[in-house]
Amino acid sequence: MGGGPFTSFCAVHSHRVPSLGGYDSDSTYRHHIIIFTIGCFSGTVFGGLHCLGWNALFQGHTEKILWCAASLVIVSIPVSIVLLASYIHWLHDLDDLRNDIAQSALLASLFVYIVARVTLIVLILMSFGSLPPGIYRTVAWTEFIPHL
């Protein structure tokens, strides 16, 4: 009940199992880069999946153009974010003006990406207003699965 020897913080720290590869800052930085790259790659794949709806039926021509533009933006913005972030890292305080411009472009890219995602969500919700009549038909599963 508290009568044992006092264990210092350093001793506890040295006996812990390191998370995310260890305590050194180089390893932590590398893991942040890997997570950032995977996030941008998955964002590009997400946009690519929305490009599959390129030839789908839309309510009007404006909705189709908005869908195509938003899908292309969602595919291209993560690539530009990776390029801008690597450019900012490469500058590393060499030129303050270029660094500020690159950071502003990075923030603008993030804003455009968010707007494109919201646009896709709004277009999806708008498409629920004009569903085809066959959507309300009850499916007779015995026609498709004979053993039922």
pLDDT given for residue 147 in this prediction: 66
Cα(59)–Cα(126) distance, rounded to whole angstroms?
Answer: 9
The full set of domain ranges for the chain reads: 24-130
Residue 24: the pLDDT is 55
Which pLDDT belongs to residue 127? 87
CA distance 21 to 30: 10
Residues counted in the chain: 148
Span 11-43, pLDDT tens digits: 555 555 555 555 555 667 777 888 888 999 999
Query: Which regions of the chain are under pLDDT 70?
Result: 1-27, 93-94, 146-148
Return phi, psi of residue 33, to 5°: -65, -40
Q: What global pTM score does this model have? A: 0.69
Task: Tell me if 77 sits within 8 A of 105, measured CB to CB.
Answer: no
